[in-house]
Amino acid sequence: MRSSCPDSLDTGKKSLLVDTHNRPVEYARISVTSQCNLRCTYCMREEHEPHESSVPSLKKHEIKTIIDVLAGLGITKIRFTGGEPLLRSDIVELVEHAKNTEGIRKVTMTTNGLLLDRYLQRLTDAGLDALNFSIDSLESERYHAITRRNEFERVRANLSKILASKSIRVKVNVVMMRGINCEEMAEFVGLTREDPVTVRFMELQPFDDNQIWRTGKFFGADKIREMLHDRFPDIQQTEGSSTEFFGFRLPGYKGSIAVIPAFTRNFCSCCNRIRITSDGKVISCLYEKEGFNLLPLLRSNSDHEALADVFRSAVAHKPEDGKHAAGNSFRASMSEIGG
């Protein structure tokens, strides 16, 4: 079943950021680094040099300032992304700051899970509400082929740890690729049997230096749904979130399944988000070529109102849908945009 939109939090607080298409913006994704400890084939080159080598990541106090300004503009949800956000030693402090900021109701994170054993208890204590755990294979050799790193055992153990802890709501992100990991669908669905986890099967997106999405590996949402129905005839459709679009559940299973048509879909009419890249640009659309640069203002100690004006300008230029923004030839790595 397709979800209705939007997937906003019922806080009674009205967003002060509304675009020209009458969509309130309530959700910000903050990329805290473009560095990553994996080298997934669909995301970056093996020899990828993070752009922080020439442009530093946002500093801790700058990210805190951004959160404060966003909260004042009616943002109610923050997601920390990367790159890999757990590469920042101050990530727990950033989560704690967001949780303690008036107006912010939900703080989440997307991670590849490799360093989660170091941070799980501290993230729990800091109040992290939910975590998206990215893992594209439950088989060691295939995981290595996708990530180009021999870290499967640790990552799989960390997934088991967070599911067992039941301290943080977990969603498992799986990028489906034809001829690579589609045959593991049943194993991923099996994660929902005993744990209240949402397994999300996602389309490959056209944001990578290798252009792997052009090599026949793309496996569309319609094919994912068809495979689910073929493999699990008793699967039941449910309401998904605004981004999940299609939700499913198996009888007797504690968790749920979602399909995210990240490329073939058009749920732009529901879009309530903006992105802040790790080098301080505000991006109002995933497919947008240019962002609005916060860094000069942040590093000249400008007041909050000047920063708020940048966010207002970015939202005012938010395109009606991704097709309008995608007319350019820009295809940055997701590690730079903020996955």
End-to-end CA separation in angstroms for the chain: 25
Q: Are strands 77-81 and 106-111 parallel, antiparallel or unpaired?
A: parallel
Q: How many residues belong to the chain?
A: 339
62: three-class secondary structure by DSSP: helix
pLDDT value, residue 23: 86
* All structural domains of the chain with their residue ranges: 27-337
Cβ-in-10-Å burial (0-12, 13-18, 19+) of 178 comes to middle
Sheet with 198-202, edge to edge strand ranges? 236-238, 246-249, 256-260, 198-202, 169-175, 130-134, 106-111, 77-81, 27-31, 273-276, 281-283, 292-293
Lowest mean pLDDT, pick from 15-19, 27-31, 250-254 = 15-19
Task: Determine the pLDDT at residue 241.
Answer: 66
Please report which confidence band the pLDDT of residue 192 belongs to, taking 50, 70 and 90 as the band edges. very high
pLDDT at residue 234 in the model:
98
Q: What is the pLDDT of residues 66-75, one digit of tens each?
A: 999 999 999 9
Has residue 83 got a pLDDT over 50?
Answer: yes
Q: Which DSSP state fits 328?
A: S
> What integer is the mean pLDDT of 152-161?
98
User: Does position 13 have pLDDT exceeding 50, yes or no?
Assistant: yes
pLDDT recorded at residue 323: 57
Tokens of 69: 């300004």
pLDDT of residue 90: 98
Residue 21 pLDDT: 76
Residue range 105-119: mean pLDDT, rounded: 98
Mean pLDDT of the chain: 87
Is pLDDT above 70 for 242?
A: no
Whole-number pLDDT of residue 193:
98
Encoded tokens for 209:
């230096």
Span 302-321, pLDDT tens digits: 999 999 999 999 998 887 66
Tell which wins on pLDDT, 130 or 7.
130
Over residues 310-333, mean pLDDT? 70
Supply φ then ψ for residue 156, to 5 degrees: -65, -40
Residues 268, 181: Cα–Cα separation, whole Å:
28
Q: CATH classification of 27-337, choosing from 3.40.190.10, 3.60.15.10, 3.20.20.70, 3.50.50.60? A: 3.20.20.70
